[in-house]
Amino acid sequence: MGSSRIPRVGIGGPVGAGKTMLIEQVVPILSNEGYRVGIISNDVVSKEDADRMRKNLSTEKGLLSEDLVIGLATGGCPHTAVREDPSMNISVVEEMEEKHSDLDMIIIESGGDNITTTFSPALADYFIYIIDVAGGDKYPRKRGLGIESCDLLVINKIDLAPYVGADLGIMEKDARLVRKSKPYVFVNCKTGQGLKQVASHLIKDVLFELPPKAVAK
Amino acid sequence: MEIVPGLITVSSIVGNIRGDPRLAEVYHRMAGKNMAESITISRSESQRSRMRKRSDKGTDIAFTLDQGVHIRHRDVVMLTENKIVVIDIEPEDVAMIEVKENAKDEILNLGIRIGHIIGNLHRPIKIEENRIFFPIQADTEIDMLRNLLHPIADHVEIKKTSMIFEPEEEMKVHAH
């Protein structure tokens, strides 16, 4: 394997599920463990998510340099840019790998999309799909390629369950049924609840529990 | 190579027991001594270059393959004196279109129609004699296919089945 290849994590999910916020919560946990992360954020027309993450994670928290948050306005259907033809994303990933060979992980955020979003295996090594309880507790049961095939299913906004009449027990039972042995995590990106578990999955299955590159040197 | 305790790094494929009689013999000999292990992955995972998987007997493997290397069904990914680890690709739901004997005079019409429809769905295909297979995501796709192929319904048999789907390699299509 080319030693320049940096592990890549794809994050997909419907509009408003909390993809950007998930990244804003997980990156500080990984940073705290010494891992350096770069972010590529896809959006349809704007670069708002990337600008927000840059302000939060770079400018305010100083966790990564500003050029490590890149916004990509894909136009059209967001899933095509991460699945059918990921060439635009791959070229940005490769440029980041070349300029920042000391990174431990690159996170690629898909634009908000429908339930069939998946990442091309050529683009991402690991795929997180995020939904939220406000979408209804029947969401996992209704399946869809993203929910079924992702490596980790994240169910966000659990604090809203009582307000939207969502039963977390049903969601958990259905998630277990649809996902078989594959993992799922309930989180609240506003408070950070459950986010350490998400980071643990990434450290175990994507980073193989290896020490951060900066430490390994 | 072992960095994390118990974790084995695999960066290349040893071979495939379907295409290598010598390796097949090694596999069967070791399987007889209870030294064979398997890792079951999906077709989508078979295209990955980096992942962590556990065998049925608990061997913890970190794959770091060259980009573009696809893992095949029955690939040997680890071979030591007392252990052989083989990949199994999960069977998946597919649609099968069987072209009937009575279609001989209609073959051009049929071929173009079927090719056009599957092409529009951007699916990979597998051809075996007079049968065409392609992956489906839901049973409802079979009904959709029957509707689309209605004009040639007398000449084809359409049904859902399950198989270890290995697409025709020379036809590069989008991976839906």
Neighboring chain A residues of B50 at a CB cutoff of 8 Å: 5, 7-8, 125-126, 206
∠ Cα B147 A77 A136 (to 5°): 80
Name the token pair of B78.
């680890």
Tell me what pLDDT residue A45 has: 82
Q: Above 70 in pLDDT, residue B175?
A: no
Single pTM value for the model: 0.88
Tell me what pLDDT residue B2 has: 53
Q: Could you say which of B42, B52, B68 has the minimum Cβ distance to residue A208?
A: B52
Question: Cβ contact (<8 Å) for A208 and B122?
Answer: no
User: Which domain range does residue B158 map to?
Assistant: 92-163
- B143 within a domain of the structure (yes/no): yes
- B2 within a domain of the structure (yes/no): no
Question: Cβ contact (<8 Å) for A149 and B44?
Answer: yes
Residue A9, min C-alpha distance to chain B (Å): 11
Q: Chain B within 8 Å of A7 (Cβ-Cβ)?
A: yes
- A107 within a domain of the structure (yes/no): yes
Number of domains in chain A: 1
- B171 within a domain of the structure (yes/no): no
- A169 within a domain of the structure (yes/no): yes
Number of domains in chain B: 2
Which of the four pLDDT bands, split at 50, 70 and 90, describes residue A84?
Answer: confident
pLDDT digits (tens, 9 = 90+) for A127-184: 999 999 998 888 888 888 889 889 999 999 999 999 999 999 999 999 999 898 899 9
Please tell me which residue of chain A has the smallest CA distance to B49: A125
Q: Are A130 and A17 in contact (CB under 8 A)?
A: yes
- A212 within a domain of the structure (yes/no): no
- A97 within a domain of the structure (yes/no): yes
Mean pLDDT check: name the lowest of A45-59, A74-88, B142-156.
Answer: A74-88
Among residues B38, B54, B89, which one ends one of the domains?
B89
At B72, which CATH number?
2.60.260.20
Mean pLDDT check: name the lowest of A17-21, A73-77, A96-100, A205-209.
Answer: A73-77
Residue B87, min C-alpha distance to chain A (Å): 18
* Same domain membership, residue B96 and residue B85: no
Q: Which strands sit side by side in the sheet containing B75-80, from one edge to the other?
A: B15-16, B75-80, B83-89, B36-41
Mean pLDDT check: name the lowest of A121-125, B35-39, B102-106, B142-146.
Answer: B102-106
Among residues B63, B89, B115, which one ends one of the domains?
B89
Question: Cβ contact (<8 Å) for B175 and A84?
Answer: yes
Q: Could you say which of A85, A118, A125 has the minimum Cβ distance to residue B50?
A: A125
Tell me what pLDDT residue B75 has: 97
At A183, which CATH number?
3.40.50.300
Q: Are A74 and A6 in contact (CB under 8 A)?
A: no
Please tell me which residue of chain A has the smallest CA distance to B53: A205
Q: Could you say which of B4, B47, B175 has the minimum Cβ distance to residue A208?
A: B4
Tell me what pLDDT residue A217 has: 67
User: Which domain range does residue A133 map to?
Assistant: 8-206
Q: Could you say which of A1, A204, A210 has the minimum Cβ distance to residue B3?
A: A210
Q: What is the rounded average pLDDT of the residues B49-60?
A: 96
At B101, which CATH number?
3.30.70.790
Chain A segment 120-159 residues within 8 A of B by beta carbon are 120-122, 125-126, 145, 149
Tell me what pLDDT residue A3 has: 56
Q: What is the rounded average pLDDT of the residues B109-132?
A: 91
Complex prediction ipTM: 0.87
pLDDT digits (tens, 9 = 90+) for A4-15: 789 999 999 998
